[in-house]
Amino acid sequence: MRTRWIVLALVLALLGAGGGYWWYQSHQNAANPTSEQLALTAYTSECYGGSCSGLDPSQNCTDGTTVASKKVSYGFLELRYSPSCKANWGRFTPNGRDTFFWASQKQSIWARVTAWNPGGKSYGTAHHDTGLSGSSWSQMVDGVVTACTGVEVYFVGDHSALDSQGWNWGPCR
């Protein structure tokens, strides 16, 4: 028994506190997976439901579909859902007309996208597209319960000054 603790201490020392925490979070449900989780393991073993919170959907759950959407200032806000991961995230795509206008003014549109489960932590932007018509998206949240998304749109000028256009609160589902 003492040898087991020594080995565990050495492994945690090698991984570091952050690595140990990540390992614990990603394996905490491994002992008793549900039959649905077992069926999905072959497709996506990265995360499931709440264990996806804070992860980038483009790295973990690429089968997302739009489940709710809303036209917002300067673009379109979507709540995305991955059926294999049971996770949600927000995605903002700027209007092409607005992006070209602001580009002609030597400014660009920047979006801070967030997603959350009501009463829970908000997870910020996982990816920001610097192109004129590309999308930006948030990190994922648990898709087993209600999830919401929002976006704060900024104009960025020549000298990298941010000019917030305010928050747009998007759909929940």
Which sign does the torsion angle of CA 151, 77, 71, 109 carry? Answer: positive
- Range(s) of the domain holding residue 153: 49-172
Q: Is residue 110 part of a domain?
A: yes
Q: Is residue 117 part of a domain?
A: yes
Q: Is residue 114 part of a domain?
A: yes
Q: Is residue 3 part of a domain?
A: no
Q: Is residue 97 part of a domain?
A: yes
Give pLDDT tens digits for 67-125: 999 999 889 999 999 999 999 999 999 887 666 666 666 677 789 999 999 999 999 99
Q: Is residue 154 part of a domain?
A: yes
Asked whether the predicted pLDDT for residue 54 surpasses 60, the reply is yes
Per-residue three-class SS string for 26-68: HHCCCCCCCHHHHHHHCCCCCCCHHHHCCCCHHHHCCCCEEEE
Task: Specify the number of domains making up the chain.
Answer: 1
Decide: residue 142, CB within 10 A, 0-12 exposed, 13-18 middle, 19+ buried: buried
Of the listed ranges 2-6, 36-40, 90-94, 165-169, the least confidently predicted one is 36-40
CATH classification at residue 161: 2.60.40
Q: Is residue 121 part of a domain?
A: yes
